[in-house]
Structures are given as structure tokens and as C-alpha cells.
Amino acid sequence: MATTDFSNYDAAGVPKGTGLRLGLVVSAWNPEITGAMRDGAVETLLKHGVALKDIHEEGVPGSFELALGAQLLLEHRPLDGVICIGSVVRGETPHFDFVCQATAQGIMDVGLKTGIPAIFCVLTDDTIEQARARSGGKHGNKGVDAAVAVLQMAALRRRLTS
């Protein structure tokens, strides 16, 4: 279990987001959690120079649908990266394992297929309390972490393809 706030980062080391066009695909399942991560991501992107008009958001029903949502968004918008935001809380059946594995694999596949950064911002927690702690609570906000990651990966892609 994490014991620190991983959303504390050196802002000076984060690439500028000026001119970047980025997508957010947000799961409607566990909206308290996904909404908080979405807010953390948007705040961080704005802080690093991404214009609000250049953040394109779409909703999907659940985490399982994040990969297709990201792929569709990338097919229909000229974007430099996409953040996939979801939350899966363990229940009493193996459903959790199947959804988490498929979601992770799907998001990775979108990035590899398109060559555009697809960032995994999906909490896979045992309890809702753990999810709250990682979506703006004592362990930071995974949305902030994902926003930093998309800025870093978009900068890498631009540097290597220019």
C-alpha cells in the first residue's frame, strides 16, 4: 500500500503543454472517484499551459470501455495524447480481475496501435476508501500523475517525430 502523496512533483521538470491538444476519456462508473481524477488532470494540464479549448473530453459507461473510447477519440480528433480515467473497486467475484486486465491491455494497445500516448489513469483498489485516498486524498490524485505523464509522453513523441 502506498504511504505517501505521489502527486507531489517538480513542476519545473514538466514539459510545457502550450499548443498541445489532449483528450480525456472518463468512466461514468464510480463518478465520485473519476470526477476527482478528471478535475486533478484538467487543473494540472491548465497549470502547464494547455488551453481549455484544447482539452477534449468524452464519457464512457465504465473502465472496460475506456480503450475504445480513447481509440474513437483519437480517430476523430487530431490529438497529441489521451488520458483514460477510471476506477474499479474489488467486489466479491472475479469480475474485478477480468475488467482490470482487459482495461490495462486495451489502453496499452490503443497507444501502441496509434503511436499516440494513451495514459492509464485507472484506480484498481480493494475498497472505496483506497480509491478516495488516491483521487485527491492522502495519497494524492492519480489524475495529476496522469496529466504529468501525458505531457511528458507528448513531448517525447514530438521530439522524436520532428
> Which sequence positions are flagged as catalytic?
95
CA distances from 21 to 18, 150, 159 (A): 9, 11, 16
Q: Which residue has the cell 483514460?
A: 84
Among candidates 105, 114, 26, which has minimal Cα distance to 62? Answer: 26
Burial of 39 (0-12, 13-18, 19+ CB in 10 A): middle
Pairing status of strand 118-125 against strand 81-89 = parallel
